[in-house]
Amino acid sequence: MEINIPLSGGFCLGIDSAPSSIDGYPTARLKKGLLLLHDGQSLGEEGVGFGVPVVKRGIQTIFPGRLELAGQQAGAIWQVAARFSMNLEEKLATPLRGSLRSKLLYQGKNSLAALHRRSPLLRPLLTAISNALRQALSLETVFDETAFYGVVQVAYTIDTRAERIEIDVDASGLVGEGLTEVVVMNEQGARHFDRYRDSTGALLQGVEIGSWDEVTTANASFISTAHKLAFTLAQVSGARLFRGRELTGSRLAWSGFGYTFPPGLQRISFAVSIHRLP
């Protein structure tokens, strides 16, 4: 099922439950949330869209591989109900051997990814090492089915006049042992959204934004200088807000925010506001 919600100025929001591989990124297999489009062109690139759940088990990350949708419109208000099934895990693969299964390999990979997030000064070095290893060993990212960790239900309410999205995330349907964290991603494409600004007036461009840093201000925005458009999120009680932007060839191209919270919280609500810039 595909739902497209027109906004003004040639922009719209789209969400689709059908499989997609047209964007060419490894994340094409993941089920995505609301993506921005302009004159029919997606601004999402590798980004997963607004309001997409991700589940953590320590350093292991579980992504949604199935999506059921329902939607209805009443004037300027659209309501979209999304049911994400959490059943995909990121893997490394080679053209000859397919997905690699070494537990030690993934422990090392996930530990380095955690170090990358925690240590901004080491990020350039770690990125260079990762890119060199991928090229030398012909490694590529794929997403394979893993154990089923339940469903997360997301309700989107879109006011097309105000260009505001109210998002309610219900994680009470998660199952399985060892779940440590729920992340709700809000991403669009890195080439389109190249600047960050927060409520203190801080302005960052490109690589200055970082790949995963906590936001402590009241609200923050990502800005598309080309499209003169921004999206803004605010702090939510019980959750932590992080920002990130990564742009690496045809493998990574996302800009956005993530709310993280413990599974025991089960439910959070927040808003994404879309703004036009002069």
Domains in the chain, please, with CATH? 2-89+145-276 (2.70.98)
| Residue 212 contacts residue 242 (beta carbons within 8 Å) | yes
pLDDT at 23: 65
Q: How confident is the model at residue 139 (pLDDT cuts 50, 70, 90)?
A: confident
* Per-residue pLDDT reduced to its tens digit, 187-233: 999 999 999 999 999 999 999 999 999 999 999 999 999 999 999 99
Q: Would you say residue 21 has pLDDT above 60? A: no
pTM: 0.92
The count of other CB atoms within 10 Å of the CB of residue 109 is: 19
- Lowest mean pLDDT across 108-117, 177-186, 244-253: 108-117
| Bridging pattern class, strands 35-38 and 11-16 | antiparallel
The count of other CB atoms within 10 Å of the CB of residue 11 is: 18
Q: Taking Cα atoms as reference points, which of 51, 79, 84, 47 lies closest to residue 233?
A: 51
Q: Per DSSP, what are the bridge partners of residue 170?
A: 153, 267
Q: Per DSSP, what are the bridge partners of residue 268?
A: 169
- Lowest mean pLDDT across 4-13, 51-60, 238-247: 51-60
User: How far apart (Å, rounded) are the C-alpha atoms in residues 228 and 223?
Assistant: 7
| Residue 142 contacts residue 237 (beta carbons within 8 Å) | no
* Per-residue pLDDT reduced to its tens digit, 250-264: 789 999 999 999 999
* Per-residue pLDDT reduced to its tens digit, 72-130: 999 999 999 999 999 999 888 777 666 766 676 666 677 767 776 677 777 777 677 77
